[in-house]
Chains A and B, each alone.
Chain A
Amino acid sequence: NAGVTQTPKFQVLKTGQSMTLQCAQDMNHEYMSWYRQDPGMGLRLIHYSVGAGITDQGEVPNGYNVSRSTTEDFPLRLLSAAPSQTSVYFCASSYLPPGQGRGQPQHFGDGTRLSIL
C-alpha cells in the first residue's frame, strides 16, 4: 500500500517558469490538501478538495491552481514561479475533511522540495 505519493522529490525552477507538482493516493480518500512548509514553521494550507470535481482555497492560495478530476490525483500548479514560493510542499489525504465525523488522521506524502531562483 503506497499511501500518498508525491513527485518530484526535488525541483529547481527559474523565476517565471511554471510547473505541476503531482500527488496521488491509493486509499480512496475523498479529502485531499496541499500545504507549504517554510523553514522553522508549521504547515500552511494552500488548496483543498473534498471530492472529485470540488476544490477550494486555503490560507495561502495566491500563485497556485489545483484541479481534482479523479479521487486519486490532486496536482498543484505553479503558474509563474516566484522566489517567495521556495518551500517544501506536502500533499495529504483523509477519508473525511478535518473535524468531521469522529475524526481521522491525515496521511502525508514525503514532500517536494522546491527552489526558485
Chain B
Amino acid sequence: SQQGEEDPQALSIQEGENATMNCSYKTSINNLQWYRQNSGRGLVHLILIRSNEREKHSGRLRVTLDTSKKSSSLLITASRAADTASYFCATERQGKSTFGDGTTLTVKP
C-alpha cells in the first residue's frame, strides 16, 4: 500500500503565484524527500527533511514536516513556467522509499 499520498492531485496557477502541495503518510519515518519529474524524464531530487526537523528551505522551496500529523508540505514561491512538472513525496524507513501518486503542477505564463 502507498505510504505517501499527495494532495491535490492537480494544481494550476499563474506565473508568480505560490504553489503548495501536501503529503500525508501512515507510519513513522526516518526521512521524507521531495522529487520533481518533468514529462518523459526520471525523478530529480529537490529537498530532504529528516524526522527531527520541522522546516527546510532551498532557494524558492520551503518544506515543512509535522510528524505528529504525519504530514509534509512543499511550497514553491514565485512560481515560473519552468516549474511545470509532477511532484512526489517519498517517505523513507527500514531501507526503502515509498512514493505517493504525485501532484501535477501547471504554471501558466
Contacts and interface: CB of A to CB of B under 8 A. Distances in A.
Interface of A: 4, 33, 35, 40-45, 48, 50, 58-59, 90, 92, 97-100, 102-111
A99 B101 contact: no
A112 to B, nearest CB: 10
Contacts of A48: 95-96
Contact of A43 (B30, B31, B33, B43): B43
Contact of A99 (B43, B88, B92, B102): B92
A103 B41 contact: no
B4 to A, nearest CB: 8
A45 B96 contact: yes
Contact of B101 (A40, A59, A104): A40
Q: Which of A42, A50, A99 has the most CB of B within 10 A?
A: A42
Contact of B42 (A40, A58, A104, A110): A110
5 contacts: A43-B99, A44-B99, A97-B95, A98-B93, A106-B45
Give the dominant DSSP class at A's interface: loop
Interface of B: 2, 4, 29-31, 33, 35, 40-45, 48, 50, 88, 90, 92-102
A50 B94 CA distance: 12
A99 B93 contact: yes
A106 B88 CA distance: 13
Contact of A50 (B40, B95, B99): B95
A108 to B, nearest CB: 4
Given A102-B50, A108-B42, A109-B42, A43 B88 contact: yes
